[in-house]
Amino acid sequence: MVHRDRIALCAALAVFTGGALAACRGADPGPQALRTVTIYVSTDRVFSEPVLRAYEQQSGVTVNAVYDTEETKSTGLANRLLAEQARPQADVFWSNEPVRTLVLKSRKALASYRSPNAKGIPAALVDADGYWTGFSARIRVIAYNTTLVTLADAPKSVFDLADPRWRGQVAIADPRFGSTSFHVAALYAAAGDERMDAFFRQLKANDVKIVDGNSVVRDLVARGEVKIGLTDTDDVNVAIEDRQPIAMVLPDAAGLGVPVMPNMVSLIANAPHMEEGQRLIDYLLSGDVEQQLAHSEAVQIPLHTGVPGPRNIPAIDTFRPMTLDFTKAAQRVEDVTGRLASILGL
């Protein structure tokens, strides 16, 4: 009797745990999903999901996407891709800023692929070895509250943010994460350590508000908690579309150049669906997708010549972009992160 009970209970425990796992849905391909492709996307979901859905409809291929964000709360898809490196699950990585892609390239997690649709994209935005291709760019901008600051008074350079007249009125995202980390690394690479260290010390003395994401910067500026902030074009545009009192300035047009950040798309090394991955990359690099992203709330700037850009944002050939070597900027991230943690007391 006792023996029977014991067997029954062990069986129950095993069946229970197994059942809990079995009740989950498996990766059943199903008849309609014979052609699938898996993409990891760090471009904000609200912008990237419609693009991928359009591809599904157009190609008949099922797109399995994993989304993430660049906010500080995210551990990032790059970590997942690195952890899965021995047995990759993804075919394509679509990043909304350069650092992650360059980290993956340096860790040999990417495969080389030169898409025919990369033709027409400026050479500086295409990897010479074919590990990544840039498309649809964003700009780092200075956002200001239009009820508190006029366009004439708004800062025109990132370095103006350390001006004592803005004391306690500037917000930036934590510079260790996301597009801000790339921006400050690029500034260190372009302007030199001494100048940038001094700038960030002044910024700290100026009581800068360091918050946990570019969207938070935008919200603080829009609500008037601070007058100005450093953020991205897409963040500001969402608030403008929401009719909030906010506008933006393209910084350093007359100095170091306007900081431009392209999306980057890459093929994953040993991807399970290599050919489908290449087709999806071709699609993402098409003029159609750039137009779609330009006319969405993302207001991303097309890199192909001849593709109409977003309204309210100047075309890329109408201002002077910051000249920089993405690889060199990305290599500065670790060092700059350490410096800023110390200078800003993060």
| Binding residues for other proteins restricted to 27-46, rule: CB under 8 A | 27, 38-40, 44-46
Taking the complex as a whole, the smallest distance from the CB of residue 257 to other proteins amounts, in Å, to 25
Buried b vs exposed e over 226-246: b needs ≥16 C-beta within 10 Å? bbbbbbbbbbbbbbbeeebbb
Q: How many CA atoms lie within 13 A of 117 on its CB side?
A: 19
Stretch of 74-82, 151-159, 276-284, 313-321 contacting other proteins, by CB under 8 A:
74-82
Nearest distance in Å: CB 105, other proteins? 12
126 φ, ψ to 5°?
-130, 130
Give min distance, CB of 295 to other proteins, in A: 16
**Residues in 191-250 at the binding interface with other proteins, rule: CB under 8 A:** 209-213, 215-216, 219, 223-225, 234-235, 238-239, 242, 244
**35, 59, 64, 319: residue in contact with other proteins (rule CB under 8 A):** 64
Which residues in the 167-196 window bind other proteins by CB under 8 A? 174, 176-177, 181
Alpha carbon distance 6, 288 (integer Å): 65
Residues of span 252-291 touching other proteins by CB under 8 A: none
Give the nearest distance from C-beta 118 to other proteins in angstroms.
25
Three-class SS state of 36: strand
Taking the least distance from each CB to other proteins, the nearer of 82 and 253 is: 82
Look at residue 95 and give its three-state secondary structure. Answer: strand
Site for other proteins in 305-334 (CB under 8 A): 333-334
Q: How far is CA 137 from CA 107, 190, 215, in A?
A: 25, 19, 18
Among 59, 62, 146, 291, which residue sits at the site for other proteins (rule: CB under 8 A)? 62
Could you say whether residue 296 binds other proteins (CB under 8 A)? no
Residues 102-131 that bind other proteins (CB under 8 A): 103, 107
CB of 126 to other proteins, least distance (A): 23
Contact present, 121 and 285 (Cβ < 8 Å): yes
CA angle 94, 213, 152 (to 5 degrees): 105
Tokens 């796992």 sit on residue: 21
Identify whether the C-beta of residue 120 lies closer than 8 Å to the C-beta of residue 297. Answer: no
